[in-house]
Amino acid sequence: MRIERPRQNVILLCAMVFLSCRGARRKSLSLQTRAHDHIGSWTNLQDWVSWAFRAPMPATYEAAITYSADPKSIDNEFVIQIGDRTLSGMVQGTGGTNGFKEFSLGAIVVPWNQGGTIALKPKRVAFGSTLMQFHALTLRATKESPENANR
């Protein structure tokens, strides 16, 4: 098993955060960054990517993920974990591996002064497919009070 050495960068969550595949730490047996700025060959449920973060104040973020998907990847499942909170998603069609699209995942609350990890992990990958061709995760702060958001 190969585990990449963690980078020391810590992302400060603010109004909008763009987390690209190139800045991610990888816990990986097979993940590869491709020339088109995406991670492909994602077939192993033990592979995941993450980013370190610190939140200076409580906030609710709308999370979105950008990827492309081979038709065999449709209905594969993944989870976004931010601290102890999670959002689940199912891979949707994008018209092929060259058709990158952004998909909304919903709202997630990040408590005040919490530091930790934002992780993208596969939950289910169908035999003979890859999870997706992952490009980026985007977090956009909302005006909604953190107390009212889904947890």
User: What is 40-73 written as a DSSP string?
Assistant: E----TT-EEEEEEE-SS-EEEEEEEEEEE-GGG
pLDDT tops 90 at residue 103: yes
Q: Higher confidence at residue 52 or residue 91?
A: 91
**What's the confidence (pLDDT) of residue 116?**
80
**What's the confidence (pLDDT) of residue 6?**
41
Question: What is the overall mean pLDDT for the chain?
Answer: 79
Domain ranges of the chain: 11-142
> By mean pLDDT, which of 53-67, 85-99, 137-151 is the weakest?
137-151
* Mean pLDDT in residue range 93-122: 86
24-47 pLDDT, tens per residue? 676 665 555 555 577 887 888 998
Residue 66 contacts residue 102 (beta carbons within 8 Å): yes
Q: Higher confidence at residue 92 or residue 31?
A: 92
pLDDT-derived band at 23 (thresholds 50, 70, 90) equals: low
Q: Higher confidence at residue 7 or residue 147?
A: 147
- Give the pTM: 0.79
Q: Residue 3 has which token pair?
A: 């585990």
Instruction: Please provide the CATH number assigned to the domain covering 11-142.
Output: 2.60.120.260
> By mean pLDDT, which of 59-63, 110-114, 138-142 is the weakest?
110-114
